[in-house]
Amino acid sequence: MNWKIIRKDVEALRKNLVEIRHDLHQNPELGFEETRTQGIVRMWLENHGYSPTDSAGTGLIADLNPRKDGPTIALRADMDALPMDEGGVLSYRSIIPGKAHACGHDGHTTILMGAAAILARHREAFAGNVRLLFQPAEEGVRGGGATVMVAQGALEGIDEVYGLHSWPGWPKGELRVAAGPVMAQVNTFDITVRGKGGHGSQPQVCRDPIVAASHLVSAIQTVVSRGLGFEGGAVVSVCSFQAGTTHNVIPDEAVLSGTIRTFDEATCERVLERLREVVRGTARSFGVQVELEIDSGFPVLSNDSACAEVVARIGKQVMGEGAVSAKDLPMAGGEDFAYYAQNRPSAFFFLGAQLEGEDTPVCHHPKFDFDDDLIPLGIELFLRIVADRLA
């Protein structure tokens, strides 16, 4: 493929794609609610010669050359927004209260739309098929949209899967990818401390759940620092503490919620074992009842070594030798791309978006916005991966 011509084609699409991205940003939809987004993507695909089919309710699958012999490479983009309010003063900020594209999925969707358009113009150049996976519900929905798409056959006939994510925590112009674990296994926990409430002036006749839960917060910090060795490999955070309703009543109950991030099964089991021990010990020490509930989330996202090497090699061709590394990987975030990686050789990579000299808002920040400069870069990386695998 003539990459000078391809880049001109991408640049010609840029204005239209940016407008689409801004429109998606302004009209965010939560997981399994992406009907408007689905309609926009469907029309785009049909206008470029695809025959998309629904998947996971509000997702789409489209094949470039469905009847062509040879390998099939899948490219994935997530489409959903977060249940949060957007801050800032963007002209295209969210118009829907409590919903915001604060993780860049509007940009990921736009990148895959752009790649789809260019692929359609050159479909005869590839010795195989490309499957486009426009996935709903990556953010916080139990199991994620990926599990539904996999269960409905999205990976049938697929040889490899590739996905990307913008990452403002790393410098713009850098690509990060690694073989093996790159994102964490996710578990969540809810702890309910039940004591005996009463008047705030008479704690001696109460079993104060707030005091017990406060000690529990501190004790949980030792699960990693004193439960694991020098190698670490886990993050445990209490992210919610709810108790009481007024200034002079000791409540009957306090509730803690948090997250656990690990990168291998043995470490995960050790962390859960220590958490249970801490909970039981605190209950005995304070004479309260403590109920612990643990919910399993996304598994470890582990990149296939050969697929990761493909991304690294192509990244160096496009961005330069020094722009590609495995620095700061794995990270403790979670991603349901892990379900694709469990079923097929896959690679998930990150495009830096941190502006030099600026405190760029990170993912899930109220003022986060996807960097439109990553659209042509992401398109070219996807296209080169396809050309490499289906040459």
* Per-residue pLDDT tens over the stretch 77-111: 999 999 999 999 999 999 999 999 999 999 999 99
Residues 173 and 305 in one domain: yes
Supply the mean pLDDT for the chain.
96
Give the residue from 267, 296, 325 where a domain finishes: 296
380 — pLDDT class (breaks 50, 70, 90): very high
pLDDT at 142 exceeding the cut of 70: no
What pLDDT sits at residue 85? Answer: 98
Residues 170 and 253 in one domain: no
Cβ neighbours around 352 below 10 Å, total: 21
Residues 205 and 241 in one domain: yes
Residues 119 and 235 in one domain: no
- Measured between alpha carbons, how far is 113 from 75 in angstroms, rounded to an integer? 11
Please give the share of the chain, as a percent, with pLDDT higher than 90. 96
- Residue 249: which CATH number? 3.30.70.360
- Measured between alpha carbons, how far is 34 from 106 in angstroms, rounded to an integer? 11
Number of helices (H) and strands (E), helices first, in the chain?
Answer: 10, 16
What pLDDT sits at residue 144? Answer: 84
What pLDDT sits at residue 157? Answer: 97
Question: Tokens 């926990």 sit at which residue?
Answer: 189
Q: Tell me the per-residue pLDDT of 225-257, one tens digit each, with 9 for 90 and over.
A: 999 988 889 999 999 999 999 999 999 999 999
Instruction: Name the CA radius of gyration of the chain, rounded.
Output: 23
Give the total number of structural domains in the chain: 2
121 — pLDDT class (breaks 50, 70, 90): very high
Provide the terminal-to-terminal Cα distance of the chain, rounded to the nearest Å: 9
Q: Tell me the per-residue pLDDT of 272-310, one tens digit each, with 9 for 90 and over.
A: 999 999 999 999 999 999 999 999 889 999 999 999 999
- Per the structure, the complete domain to which residue 156 belongs is given by 3-182+300-389
Residues 289 and 310 in one domain: no
Q: Tell me the per-residue pLDDT of 33-60, one tens digit each, with 9 for 90 and over.
A: 999 999 999 999 999 999 999 999 999 9
Backbone angles phi, psi at 196, to 5 degrees: -130, 115
Residues 43 and 154 in one domain: yes
Residues 241 and 220 in one domain: yes
- Measured between alpha carbons, how far is 230 from 105 in angstroms, rounded to an integer? 36
DSSP string covering 206-235, please? SB-HHHHHHHHHHHHTHHHHTTS-TT--EE
Give the residue from 235, 265, 296 where a domain finishes: 296
**One-letter identity of residue 354:** Q
Give the residue from 265, 296, 327 where a domain finishes: 296
Residues 24 and 117 in one domain: yes
What pLDDT sits at residue 141? Answer: 66
180-195 core/surface letters (b: 16 or more CB in 10 A; e: else): ebbbbbbbbbebbbbb
Residues 102 and 236 in one domain: no
- Measured between alpha carbons, how far is 270 from 276 in angstroms, rounded to an integer? 10
DSSP string covering 309-360, please? HHHHHHHHHHH-GGGEE-TT-SBS---TTHHHHHHS-EEEEEEEEEPTTS-P
- Residue 156: which CATH number? 3.40.630.10
Average pLDDT for residues 201-224, to the nearest whole number?
Answer: 97
Average pLDDT for residues 155-174, to the nearest whole number?
Answer: 98
The answer to whether the CB of 256 falls within 8 A of the CB of 240 is yes
Residues 291 and 310 in one domain: no
Tokens of 28: 């965010």
pTM over 0.85: yes
* Torsion sign, CA atoms 11, 12, 18, 20: negative
Q: Is 66 helix (H, G, I), strand (E, B) or coil?
A: coil
Backbone angles phi, psi at 187, to 5 degrees: -125, 145
- Measured between alpha carbons, how far is 92 from 70 in angstroms, rounded to an integer? 43
Angle at 61 between CA 174 and CA 363, to 5 degrees: 35
Residues 43 and 56 in one domain: yes
Residues 129 and 263 in one domain: no
What pLDDT sits at residue 231? Answer: 80
Please give the share of the chain, as a percent, with pLDDT higher than 70. 99
* Torsion sign, CA atoms 86, 92, 97, 98: negative
Q: Find all residues with CB under 8 Å of 97, minimum gap 6, and list them.
A: 85
Q: Find all residues with CB under 8 Å of 287, minimum gap 6, and list them.
A: 195, 207
- Measured between alpha carbons, how far is 67 from 271 in angstroms, rounded to an integer? 49
- Measured between alpha carbons, how far is 112 from 79 in angstroms, rounded to an integer? 11
Fill in the DSSP letter of residue 100.
Answer: B
Angle at 362 between CA 357 and CA 366, to 5 degrees: 115
**One-letter identity of residue 360:** T
